[in-house]
Structure 1
Amino acid sequence: MQTLKSNNESNSEAERRIERLSLHLNPIPIPHLTWNHHPLEMENCSRGKKLIVDANSLTSYMRGKYRDIQEKVFDYFNANPQLQTPLEISKDNHRELCMNQLLGLVREAGIRPLHYVVHDPAKYFAILEAVGSVDMSLGIKMGVQYSLWGGSVINLGTQKHKDKYYDGIDNLDFPGCFAMTELHHGSNVQGLQTVATFDPITDEFIVDTPNDGAIKWWIGNAAVHGKFATVFARLKLPNYDAKGISDMGVHAFIVPIRDMKTHQTLPGIEIHDCGHKVGLNGVDNGALRFRSVRIPRDNLLNRFGDVSRDGQYTSTLPSVNKRFGATLGELVGGRVGLAYSSVSVLKVASTIAIRYSLIRQQFGPPNQPEVTILDYQSHQHKLMPMLASTYAFHFATTNLVEKYAQMKKSHDEELVADVHALSAGLKAYVTSYTAKSLSVCREACGGHGYAAVNRFGSLRNDHDIFQTFEGDNTVLLQQVAADLLKQY
């Protein structure tokens, strides 16, 4: 009896699958309905007019109060076709174009992102989304200049640093780098090996790269354009009582790397080009090595720890771990921006794939017009969950940005911890989802999706590193798990 029952269930399941497959190939005609909304006119659509929501209203709602600044970005690049990135461009030309794009945005269009990094982070991320949709390399280069280099000076420094560097960073007179990652240390920032040893005789720090593994690697803006770098190094002090050296942990230092007038590499600085990459070749990634480079004591970004003229270390935070946590907490904006930017990539890719699927026809009943491929369930199963996820991720990352903005204003410790965990989880989950979805979108457009003009290739290549930027996704998810266990 049990065997007979199992055979009947198997037959029923097989019949159900065959019926569903037949519907894929021969969709049931749906009678035209009369809607009170404006229909979408599509000349080649297999079912004539279709329902669509008011696109302008939805766009205004999704972009919110920052739609105007995004339109300003788009209007600028539409009015300057010479600044639009061509399909075929060499690495060197792409780098120069990317720098000119950023200069034009700041000096001609009058958009100053650093102001928003400080005063309105949500508006900054809206600009970043618009800029990234023009060219993802440009979005990353802007992020390096304003969120990383500028953000480190503003968030880790004190008033003297803002007075000296703010205007130059803002107007691009001071293009800079964010030199954290080393050849042997990426995610493990506490393991960085670059050292900055204080010399009380000259009132300077001496920055050194002790071995090849400590070379700063993948540093954006370093290979060609950067004049300064925020260098993360172990702060070491002479300890005469112990007849040794005191290691105060990782701190951030401003290190000039090129001459302001001649742009020549400064003494003791070695700069190497990281070369052609899988994507984002408009960003000039380089490697930095320091050989006894002397910088003034004032170049220590001293918000969380300072060194006096006589070599005494002071901090409002009691331990190396507390100072390290506070330092990284101020830099979480980069991770927030990556999660937000990844969603914008997903928006672009899903829009391209869905629009194509609405006009591409394939197969259909005999002697009748072919059917639009989005009418097939198999195609809907590819794209519609992705579209729903895109909306969900949009609202999730928008909420994250709001929390981040509140955190920057309040400095509430509980909110800091919440933003750290949420940004780690969303960045890891969204970037992984988008990376997979880019391939799905390309496949959903068939052979035509393989044309470079359709952007799937460049989007996929440029976005892929998002899974590694600002923390490897596996490591970030482990951080989230640790935080959840701690809460439990």
Structure 2
Amino acid sequence: MELQKISSKGPRNSEETAELVNRRINLLTLHLNPVQDNPVQELELLRCAGKMKAINVSTETLSEYMRGKHRDIQEEVFAYFNSRPELQTPIEISKDEHRELCMKQLVGLVREGGIRPFRYVVDDPSKYFAIAEAVGSVDMSLGIKMGVQYSLWGGSVINLGTKKHRDKYFDGIDNVDYPGCFAMTELHHGSNVQGLQTVATFDPLTDEFIIDTPNDGAIKWWIGNAAVHGKFATVFARLMLPTHDTKGVTDMGVHAFIVPIRDMKTHKTLPGVEIHDCGHKVGLNGVDNGALRFRSVRIPRDNLLNRFGDVSRDGRYTSSLPTISKRFAATLGELVGGRVGLAYSSVGVLKIAVVIATRYSLLRQQFGPPQQPEVSILDYQSQQHKLMPMLASTYAFHFATLHLVEKYSEMKKSHDEELIGDVHALSAGLKAYITSYTAKSLSTCREACGGHGYAAVNRFGSLRNDHDIFQTFEGDNTVLLQQVEI
């Protein structure tokens, strides 16, 4: 690379070329044969293993500082799964078996382990995200399934509904008696939520909404919990009110509705609901993603999540917010927690990968001076250049996402408009930047471990595959970065 840069400036004489070649050879030699008397002091290698004086560090204190006040509940999660080897995900497992195991893991953690994440979604978000990080480190599919159940399906009921919805659904969501889905994304619309085509038309004669999928592009797609386990779905659809003029209906914009999709006792698909399996994915195969189509599915008027807009018995629409755009912004603003959680969880993945790669690099020895012991590969500058900036970034991202969670928690309590804007921009930027960084770093960590990193037991493959979608869901990274205010 250095030769190419200099040669591009023009022809060199033989002495300059020889000097350049010798310099390059000397630099390369430093990577393979570290010496004590190094004339290029700024390139002197640091001794990371064996030769360095041991530093006394209280791992207990450091761990408590890093993991904060919710360390205890994370330890409860780890203790539960360590005591249940039958619930630990094996390296080789089929899609269907993984899905069933994932559901058993979630139900077991909640009902046997006594960990109730849903109770913290609103009251103590930092505790919820701490649980999510621990659960995701056990199996990322489990972390996502928990997020679908509590942050998305449960969060939509709490954040977009009113007291009647919380009273009716809270306990069932909390103990997983009411497994549910978050049906926003459509086949033709993901990031452009305002362009959703599913419709919910109010019928004043029966006091019901009729949920319809008008075309194939409006099929709800990639819906977690839909293919196998979900009994309910929060469906985002355009609220249509009948009028007495020639228009026939008035479009009031996108609203959220609770739609039962399976019978509570028999688990059979309900009339008018069509469910398809999205099949095997690149990763996260413990999550049962499915597609939902609705053919004139009738739901009670009370199933409208009516915090930002309501319809009376006689078909009149009321809202504290004057326009469709303001109601839409308020609705999406209440769902920003999913984006916060992804940024936080992505750092958790990065922590796992960097720890594995760094520990391996300390123990693995390769090459060295003649007639002397081989050298830890973390003593080589090339390995340090791979891992040390990544380790530093992991610490930076850890504290950045803790700050984001604090801001988010404060926002949930105060509902301050300026704070809402800050959290939106921060969560969009950090989610996009951190997930992209982690995705690239996972490959670097695998490469840093050489051939051993390619073994499935070392987790790099599953971590890389499971995490890859983090760059897409809860907002495509390219789109999110355009929402960040500079």
The answer to whether the superposition gives a TM-score over 0.5 is yes
Amino acid corresponding to residue 296 of structure 2 in structure 1? S
TM-score, length-scaled by structure 2: 0.93
User: Which residue in the other structure is 2:32 paired with?
Assistant: 25
Q: Which of 97, 106, 109 is the matching residue for 1:93?
A: 97
Query: Is 1:168 aligned to 2:175, yes or no?
Result: no
Query: Is 1:143 aligned to 2:150, yes or no?
Result: no
Offset at residue 14 of structure 1 (A): 5.0
Query: Is 1:418 aligned to 2:422, yes or no?
Result: yes
Q: Check whether the contact 1:278–1:461 (CA below 8 A) recurs between aligned residues.
A: yes
2: CA distance, partners of 1:470 / 1:140: 12
Query: Is 1:267 aligned to 2:274, yes or no?
Result: no
1: CA distance, partners of 2:247 / 2:238: 19
Offset at residue 233 of structure 1 (A): 0.2
Q: CA RMSD in A?
A: 1.8
Q: Check whether the contact 1:46–1:370 (CA below 8 A) recurs between aligned residues.
A: no
SS of 1:263 mapped into structure 2: coil
Query: Is 1:313 aligned to 2:317, yes or no?
Result: yes
Offset at residue 57 of structure 1 (A): 1.6
1: CA distance, partners of 2:10 / 2:440: 41
Q: How does 1:206-355 map to 2 (within 5 A)?
A: 206-355=210-359
SS of 1:281 mapped into structure 2: coil
2: CA distance, partners of 1:112 / 1:396: 26
2: CA distance, partners of 1:210 / 1:10: 70
1: CA distance, partners of 2:449 / 2:324: 53
Amino acid corresponding to residue 27 of structure 2 in structure 1? R
Change in CA separation of 1:194 and 1:4 when aligned onto 2, cut-off 3 Å = closer
Offset at residue 17 of structure 1 (A): 3.6
Q: Check whether the contact 1:209–1:215 (CA below 8 A) recurs between aligned residues.
A: yes
SS of 2:366 mapped into structure 1: coil
User: Which residue in the other structure is 2:457 paired with?
Assistant: 453
Change in CA separation of 1:80 and 1:8 when aligned onto 2, cut-off 3 Å = same
SS of 1:253 mapped into structure 2: strand
1: CA distance, partners of 2:288 / 2:459: 22
Amino acid corresponding to residue 292 of structure 1 in structure 2? S
TM-score, length-scaled by structure 1: 0.93
2: CA distance, partners of 1:18 / 1:218: 53
User: Which residue in the other structure is 1:62 paired with?
Assistant: 66
Amino acid corresponding to residue 264 of structure 1 in structure 2? K
Unaligned runs of 5+ in 1: 31-41
Amino acid corresponding to residue 67 of structure 1 in structure 2? R
SS of 1:471 mapped into structure 2: coil
Offset at residue 117 of structure 1 (A): 0.3
Offset at residue 58 of structure 1 (A): 1.2
Aligned-pair identity (%) = 81
2: CA distance, partners of 1:4 / 1:202: 86
After TM superposition, the structure 1 stretch with the greater mean CA deviation from structure 2, 83-92 or 54-63, is 54-63
Offset at residue 178 of structure 1 (A): 0.1
Offset at residue 371 of structure 1 (A): 0.3
Q: Check whether the contact 1:227–1:256 (CA below 8 A) recurs between aligned residues.
A: yes
Q: Which of 399, 402, 419 is the matching residue for 1:398?
A: 402
Q: Which deviations, in whole Å up to 9, do the C-alpha atoms of 1:63-105 show, x marking residues without a partner?
A: 0001000000000000000000000000000000000000011
User: Which residue in the other structure is 2:438 paired with?
Assistant: 434
2: CA distance, partners of 1:28 / 1:125: 47
2: CA distance, partners of 1:452 / 1:382: 21
User: Which residue in the other structure is 2:389 paired with?
Assistant: 385
Q: Check whether the contact 1:305–1:315 (CA below 8 A) recurs between aligned residues.
A: yes
2: CA distance, partners of 1:219 / 1:331: 16
User: Which residue in the other structure is 1:38 paired with?
Assistant: none
1: CA distance, partners of 2:195 / 2:138: 37
Q: Check whether the contact 1:274–1:286 (CA below 8 A) recurs between aligned residues.
A: yes
Amino acid corresponding to residue 76 of structure 2 in structure 1? K
Amino acid corresponding to residue 231 of structure 2 in structure 1? K
